[in-house]
């Protein structure tokens, strides 16, 4: 790493390594690319060990709480699986960047939630990262149990989730959230396995513009095209999604 | 003097035969008819002349990209899709998937849909990049203004400037494989081609033949007020597209499958594809991107971002053997 530092700071090395686009002011670009280089070098050298440490700290936070925050598992389940009856979301296997962003949003009020706001505010930036790292490292949702006979609502949910309804410009959920709803980091969270009540609450909040922390307003644009019945069907399907959607 | 006596006197003097009046009036009516009937058709489909003729009000403004598009053109009702002012557009909705037949023909239709939505799996040997048909034809080929199959099917056979002869629908699909998929076309009687034609035919069930349907192709945009610019386009791209397609435009891959398609480079469409034309890319982007927020970018932003895409490398047009 020290050698990398020296090379990065050597006069003349910047333009050779990273040619500057002609339309951008020289100084800003060079400073930014230099900074990015240094950060990525440092990250590469220490990232692996740090991530591991973060995860351990996150596990402690999840199981015991810390600094005034209760243990995450109290509501989000022993293995981060969520709590279906109460509508507490599944965290296990969720994208790290997404989880971190939500914690920050709860803390700064850009995502409103009376339970999470005080908890998020009591966490330090490092603790937020630890918790996000920990839950992201846990295994994601896997379908378990025998396929059941799908209700009409489940089938309707399957159709919206996989195909959307383009007659009203409504894209499929899985067009962005992954082919099986497993999420597409860093921006698109996993949907598969989320409790019905959680998804339903969130979609309704997007639609009512009560939740607005989505990039480019993408989620809001979709949710506002959904009817109550469609929200219910999608939420129901996503709790236990099956690709085929039929009994075998 | 009655008309009859006037008529006789005129006839007898032989200076002027009144029959000429009849011929003249008849002639005027015929000429008027020739002009008026197509004019009525044009009026049904063409934008109001006042809006069309107004000069772009905001051209030359030093405004930020996006704010520069003149309101006049924005307000023009659906000007873009009118490639040919004489066509009358007809509303059509394809049948729902639930109505798909379950017999042998239905199997071909189902396979066609599978190929269309997951070309990488079902027509692997014909594809030379990482795209699927559905990347440019959204909603499994159903979405209006995203080159839907149901609107294309009934417009073939047709003469195409692209290859200077009359193309069947199969040959049109073959063009997609050769250019947009940067691969090679399945034979007209291959099971893949039969399936794709079957799916298209089924989606177009009940549509009039040879008639321009509303939602066909991508709604072409009016000429931009500012020349499309890749530098402005880069900003549009990074603000609105990079979220899914990546700053490097290489799409997002999840466990071997692309959730968001690569837009340039070796995994994308080649230089002979319709989408490699700036005007087509601009039209597609404006009507359909970002996904679920079609028509949210200004027309100028769509032109600029299309110009940016055009500035990027991609596989060469196989007809030219060099990158275009």
What is the predicted pLDDT for the residue at B211? 94
Confidence of residue B25 (pLDDT cuts 50, 70, 90): confident
B244·A222 Cβ contact <8 A:
no
B138·A184 Cβ contact <8 A:
no
> Where do we find the tokens 């994308």?
B268
User: Smallest Cα–Cα separation from A116: which of A72, A82, A64?
Assistant: A72
pTM over the 0.90 mark: no
Instruction: Cite the DSSP H helix spans in B138-207.
Output: 138-141, 149-153, 169-175, 191-203
What is the predicted pLDDT for the residue at B220? 96
d(CA B237, CA B246): 9
Q: Is the distance from CB of B193 to CB of B134 less than 8 angstroms?
A: no
B143·A166 Cβ contact <8 A:
yes
DSSP E strands: which ranges in chain A? none
Per DSSP, the three-state class of B172 is helix
Judge whether B64-75+220-324 and B91-213 match in fold. Answer: yes
CA distances from A65 to A73, A81, A90, B220, B223 (A): 9, 17, 18, 58, 60
A222·B292 Cβ contact <8 A:
yes
Residue-range domain boundaries for chain B:
64-75+220-324, 91-213
What is the predicted pLDDT for the residue at B79? 44
> Where do we find the tokens 């005080």?
A118
Per DSSP, the three-state class of A165 is strand
User: Smallest Cα–Cα separation from B238: which of B223, B227, B249, B229?
Assistant: B249
B292·A217 Cβ contact <8 A:
no
d(CA B308, CA B232): 8
Question: Closest approach of chain A CAs to the CA of B155, in angstroms?
Answer: 22
What is the predicted pLDDT for the residue at B66? 37
Q: Cβ of B318 under 8 Å from any chain A Cβ?
A: no
Flag whether pLDDT at B86 surpasses 80.
no
* Distance, CA of B47 to chain centre: 18
Q: Cβ of B290 under 8 Å from any chain A Cβ?
A: yes
Flag whether pLDDT at B317 surpasses 60.
yes
User: Smallest Cα–Cα separation from B289: which of B225, B236, B213?
Assistant: B236
b/e burial code for range A156-172 (CB count within 10 A of at least 16 → b): bbbbbbbbbbbeebbbb
Domains of chain A, earliest start first? 2-44 (no CATH), 50-68+81-137 (1.10.760.10), 152-239 (1.10.760.10)
Per DSSP, the three-state class of A228 is helix
Q: Which pLDDT tens digit goes with each residue over A204-231?
A: 999 999 999 999 999 999 999 999 999 9
Q: Which pLDDT tens digit goes with each residue over B123-139?
A: 999 999 999 999 999 99
| Closest Cβ opposite residue A178 in set B139, B146, B254 | B254
d(CA B306, CA B33): 44
Q: Is the distance from CB of A128 to CB of A100 less than 8 angstroms?
A: yes
Residue numbers in A near B144 (CB within 8 A): 166
What is the predicted pLDDT for the residue at B6? 66
* Distance, CA of B276 to chain centre: 14
Q: Is the distance from CB of A215 to CB of A110 less than 8 angstroms?
A: no
User: Smallest Cα–Cα separation from A5: which of A42, A32, A43, A33?
Assistant: A42
In a 13 Å sphere around the CA of A99, the CA atoms on its Cβ side amount to 25
A218·B292 Cβ contact <8 A:
yes
What CATH class does B91-213 carry? mainly alpha
> Where do we find the tokens 């050698």?
A3
**How do B158-160 and B165-167 pair as beta strands?**
antiparallel
| Phi-psi group of B60: left, alpha or beta (phi > 0 → left; psi -120 to 50 → alpha; rest → beta) | left
Residue B17 — φ and ψ, nearest 5°? Answer: -85, 120
Q: Which pLDDT tens digit goes with each residue over B32-62?
A: 766 665 555 544 444 444 433 333 333 334 3
Structure tokens at B143: 């979405």
* Residue % of chain A over a pLDDT of 70: 75
| Phi-psi group of B180: left, alpha or beta (phi > 0 → left; psi -120 to 50 → alpha; rest → beta) | alpha
What ipTM was estimated for this complex?
A: 0.76
Of A37-41, A116-120, A126-130, B173-177, the least confident: A37-41
| Closest Cβ opposite residue B254 in set A164, A170, A179 | A179
Question: Which is the CATH superfamily of the domain at B64-75+220-324?
Answer: Cytochrome c-like domain (1.10.760.10)
A218·B252 Cβ contact <8 A:
no
Q: Is the distance from CB of B214 to CB of B295 less than 8 angstroms?
A: no
Q: Is the distance from CB of B310 to CB of B237 less than 8 angstroms?
A: no
d(CA A163, CA B290): 17
Q: Is the distance from CB of A91 to CB of A135 less than 8 angstroms?
A: yes
Per DSSP, the three-state class of B202 is helix
Residues in a beta bridge with B252: B260
Q: Which pLDDT tens digit goes with each residue over A53-108?
A: 688 899 999 999 988 889 999 999 999 999 999 999 999 999 999 999 999 999 99
Of A136-150, A218-232, B92-106, the least confident: A136-150
Other Cβ atoms less than 10 A from the Cβ of A53: the count is: 12
For residue B257, the 8-state DSSP code is: E
Per DSSP, the three-state class of B44 is helix
Burial label for A227, CB within 10 Å (0-12, 13-18, 19+), is: exposed
Q: Is the distance from CB of A244 to CB of A180 less than 8 angstroms?
A: no
For residue B17, the 8-state DSSP code is: -
In a 13 Å sphere around the CA of B294, the CA atoms on its Cβ side amount to 18
Q: Which pLDDT tens digit goes with each residue over A8-53?
A: 444 434 333 444 444 544 444 455 555 555 555 555 555 555 566 6
Which of A25, A161, A166 is best to mutate for the B interface (most B CBs within 10 A)?
A: A166
A163·B139 Cβ contact <8 A:
yes
Q: Cβ of B293 under 8 Å from any chain A Cβ?
A: yes
User: Smallest Cα–Cα separation from B241: which of B284, B212, B276?
Assistant: B284
- Maximal CA-CA distance, chain B: 98
């Amino acid at each position: 790493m020290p050698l990398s530092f020296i090379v990065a700071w050597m006069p003349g090395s910047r333009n050779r390594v990273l040619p500057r686009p002609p339309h951008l002011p020289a100084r800003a670009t060079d400073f930014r690319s230099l900074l990015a280089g240094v950060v990525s070098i440092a990250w590469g050298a220490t990232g692996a060990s740090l991530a591991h440490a973060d995860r351990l700290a996150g596990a402690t936070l999840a199981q015991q709480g810390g600094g005034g925050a209760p243990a995450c598992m109290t509501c989000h389940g022993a293995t981060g699986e969520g709590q279906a009856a109460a509508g507490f979301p599944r965290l296990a296997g969720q994208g790290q960047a997404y989880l971190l962003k939500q914690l920050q949003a709860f803390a700064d009020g850009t995502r409103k939630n009376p339970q999470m706001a005080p908890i998020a505010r009591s966490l330090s930036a490092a603790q937020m990262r630890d918790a996000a790292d920990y839950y992201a490292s846990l295994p994601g949702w896997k379908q378990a149990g025998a396929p059941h006979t799908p209700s009409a609502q489940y089938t309707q949910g399957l159709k919206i989730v996989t195909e959307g309804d383009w007659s009203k410009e409504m894209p499929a959920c899985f067009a962005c959230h992954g082919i099986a709803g497993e999420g597409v980091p860093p921006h698109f969270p996993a949907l598969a396995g989320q409790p019905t009540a959680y998804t339903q609450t969130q979609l309704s909040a997007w639609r009512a513009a009560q939740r607005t922390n989505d990039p480019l307003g993408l989620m809001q644009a979709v949710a506002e095209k959904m009817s109550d019945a469609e929200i219910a069907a999608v939420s129901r399907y996503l709790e236990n999604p099956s690709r085929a959607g039929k009994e075998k | 003097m009655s008309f009859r006596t006037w008529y006789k006197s005129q006839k007898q003097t032989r200076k002027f035969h009144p029959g000429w009046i009849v011929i003249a009036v008849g002639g005027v009516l015929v000429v008027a008819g020739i002009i008026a009937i197509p004019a009525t058709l044009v009026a049904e489909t063409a934008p109001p002349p006042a809006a069309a003729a107004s000069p772009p009000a905001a051209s030359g403004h030093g405004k930020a990209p996006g704010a520069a598009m003149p309101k006049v053109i924005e307000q023009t009702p659906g000007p873009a899709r009118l490639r040919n002012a004489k066509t009358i557009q007809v509303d059509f909705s394809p049948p729902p998937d639930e109505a798909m037949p379950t017999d042998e023909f239905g199997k071909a239709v189902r396979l066609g849909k599978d190929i269309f939505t997951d070309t990488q799996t079902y027509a692997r040997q014909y594809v030379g990049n990482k795209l699927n048909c559905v990347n440019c034809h959204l909603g499994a080929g159903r979405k209006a203004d995203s080159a839907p199959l149901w609107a294309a099917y009934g417009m073939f056979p047709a003469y195409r400037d692209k290859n200077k002869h009359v193309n069947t629908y199969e040959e049109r699909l073959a063009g997609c494989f050769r250019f947009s998929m940067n691969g090679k076309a399945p034979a007209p009687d291959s099971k893949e081609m039969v399936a794709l034609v079957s799916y298209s035919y089924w989606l177009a069930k009940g549509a009039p033949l040879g008639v321009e349907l509303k939602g066909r192709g991508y709604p072409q945009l009016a000429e931009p007020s500012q020349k499309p610019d890749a530098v402005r386009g880069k900003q549009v791209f990074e603000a609105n597209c990079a979220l899914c397609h990546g700053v490097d435009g290489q799409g997002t891959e999840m466990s071997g499958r692309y959730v968001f398609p690569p837009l340039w480079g070796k995994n994308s469409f080649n230089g002979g594809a319709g989408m490699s034309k700036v005007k087509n890319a601009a039209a597609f982007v404006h009507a359909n991107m970002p996904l679920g927020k079609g028509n949210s970018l200004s027309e100028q932003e769509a032109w600029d971002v299309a110009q940016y895409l055009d500035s990027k490398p991609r596989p060469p047009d196989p007809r030219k053997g060099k990158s275009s």
